[in-house]
Structure 1
Amino acid sequence: MSAQVEEIRLNLGHIELAAHLFGPEDGEPVIALHGWLDNANSFARLAPLLRGLRIVALDLAGHGYSEHRPAGASYALADYAHDVVRVAEQLGWQRFGLLGHSLGAIISVQLAGALPTRVSRLLLIDGVLPPTGTEQDAAQRLGMALQAQLRLDSKRKSIYPSLEQGIEARMKGMVAVSREAAELLAQRGLIPVPGGYSWRSDSRLTLPSPARLSEAQAMAFVQHIECPTCLVVAADGMLARHTALLEQLPFEQVRLPGGHHLHLNDEQGATLVADCINRFCGFS
């Protein structure tokens, strides 16, 4: 990771978040949002390669060194968007860009659609819209979510006897990553516990959503975005197979080789994504 990175904490009143700060003080303000169960180190390779940007890479609530939400609270997309706006208010940023990967890209799209005058540009990596649902599934989905919440009370987090085993578990997670990527995420994600190591992330992050937007509702956020937007599609990632969706998006799109974490898995992928973003921002 670049020696120029600075660790900061942001007290938003309702929660305290940790973040990494990159780039020149007079750079274009950008808030970077990582993916589900990742943390600010998701941008450890990419951010130092970006030019002209003042980047605040957050540990989202419940992730990394950030606080978990209070008992009884949940991790809805709207709550993440509220956190980001609070961060911008604390930094004095009336307008700011958003750099988002996966879940972070979804949050970015929703915030840019909801408050289009606040967001100056969108830089999205292999993520756009949340999973959608139908009206007919609403009752069943809520029931499933409630049952999962009750079951969570009796579950315990996995404990790995060694740091190495914790890293290997992340490499083989729902979305596989390279060893170097897992090691970077583990720096902010693994914590010593009796018997070994466990991941810091809030167990409630694994709960199913109690409600989903319809396709029309999800696309409404895209339609309300006013700022320039660049979407990086990983050739072996999650978006590449959704060609019908990609054809509907009014965004500049660039397809790059690599998997879902192409910006983190290796230096080559980080460089390709950085070159794309630097060109889009006019800093190439």
Structure 2
Amino acid sequence: MPAEQLRLDLGHLTLAAQAWGNPELPPILLLHGWLDNSATFVHVAPQLAAAGYYVVALDLPGHGLSDHRAVGCGYWLWDYVSDVLLAADRLGFTQFTLAGHSMGGIIGVLLSASLPERVQRLLLIDGLLPYTAEADEAPQKLADFLRAQEALGGKRKPVYPERELAVKARMQGVGSITYEAAEHLCERGLEAVEGGFTWRSDARLTLPSPLRLSRAHALAFVQRIEAPTLLLLAEQGMLLTPLKQQLETVLAGTHIEHHNLPGGHHLHLDSAEGGQLVVEQMLKFLAKNESLP
């Protein structure tokens, strides 16, 4: 099922997006992870659409084919939440199912907890809590950001003389991925420049956060979620392996349904088989909760 290419004018910037299926069907909005783009759902989105949903995957600001933020602006989680809400408004999604991978899942948690009347169901792929820091760490976090921001002006993006070299470099990024997965991300993540290819993504995305939520802040959002929520954990991902004990504590007392699936952090993208496993769990969950408002 080929995707329709969309452009969503949010006023302060324009987002690129891909859509599958009939706009008259129940909507699902997909959010990708950090330094990825909407191509991360190449195995997932068409199957969800074939099952009877209108599926839209965004390129978040600074990623893929979307605009970069204006000079002087940053890429903070709460700004992404606002952008996603504006995108939903432009699409006419009064209520919708929200699905996110990694950072996209974190954005989904913040939006769902803040405006529960908008998000009917929440589907998370190896993403739940942002990185946190406590009050006594705040001065150092801000110092790290300021120094990195000053140094960024002297850095240049790498230029790869051949596209294949860029694909291989992307394989070694956050949550190492397969060659096939890297190829998909590079379709929207690369641009041709003099001497070869470089990344389209905004270099400011690599800056550390100047201020992080505390653990108490992050947990408050998780505990506030009202929508039926499914969390799919990769057995070799970024949540289950390093944070198993903490994760059990976070999920205790919530209504979040969670399942472990084989694969790494990009289990939904690394192979068609991994995507199929993710879709099967999502559709089973959606069917179980389809009668809910």
The alpha carbon displacement at 1:54 in A equals: 1.2
Among 263, 266, 272, the alignment partner of 1:261 is 266
Deviation digits for residues 222-245 of structure 1, max 9, x if unmatched?
111110000000000011122233
The alpha carbon displacement at 1:27 in A equals: 2.1
Q: Percent identity, aligned pairs only?
A: 50
Deviation digits for residues 109-148 of structure 1, max 9, x if unmatched?
0111111111111000000010111111001110110110
Deviation digits for residues 7-34 of structure 1, max 9, x if unmatched?
1100010110000001222222121100
Which residue is equivalent to 1:22? 20
**In 1, Cα distance between equivalents of 2:79 and 2:24:** 29
The alpha carbon displacement at 1:56 in A equals: 1.1
Which residue is equivalent to 1:36? 34
Structure 1 residues 73-222: aligned runs within 5 Å: 73-222=73-222
State whether structure 2 residue 286 is matched by structure 1 residue 277: no
SS in 2 for 1:271: helix
Unaligned runs of at least 5 residues, structure 1: none
SS in 1 for 2:132: coil
State whether structure 2 residue 246 is matched by structure 1 residue 245: yes
Deviation digits for residues 175-229 of structure 1, max 9, x if unmatched?
2111111010011011110111001000000000001111110011111111000
**In 1, Cα distance between equivalents of 2:259 and 2:25:** 24
* Letter paired with 2:238: M
Q: How many residues align?
A: 282
Q: RMSD value over aligned CA atoms?
A: 1.2
**In 2, Cα distance between equivalents of 1:101 and 1:172:** 18
* Letter paired with 2:263: G
**In 2, Cα distance between equivalents of 1:30 and 1:266:** 22
Deviation digits for residues 33-59 of structure 1, max 9, x if unmatched?
000000010001111112222111000
The alpha carbon displacement at 1:94 in A equals: 1.4
* Letter paired with 1:118: R
**In 1, Cα distance between equivalents of 2:156 and 2:121:** 41
Deviation digits for residues 139-189 of structure 1, max 9, x if unmatched?
111011011000001100011010010101001223211111101001101
SS in 1 for 2:240: coil
Which residue is equivalent to 2:223? 223
2:175·2:237 contact (CA, 8 Å) conserved in 1? no
Unaligned runs of at least 5 residues, structure 2: none
SS in 2 for 1:282: helix
Deviation digits for residues 228-276 of structure 1, max 9, x if unmatched?
0000000000111222333232210010000000000001100000000
Give TM-score, length-normalised by structure 2: 0.94
Bigger shift: residues 260-269 or 85-94: 85-94
Which aligned runs of 4 or more in structure 1 are off by greater than 6 angstroms?
A: none
Which residue is equivalent to 1:13? 11
The alpha carbon displacement at 1:279 in A equals: 0.3
Give TM-score, length-normalised by structure 1: 0.97
**In 2, Cα distance between equivalents of 1:98 and 1:174:** 23
**In 1, Cα distance between equivalents of 2:93 and 2:272:** 31
**In 1, Cα distance between equivalents of 2:57 and 2:15:** 10
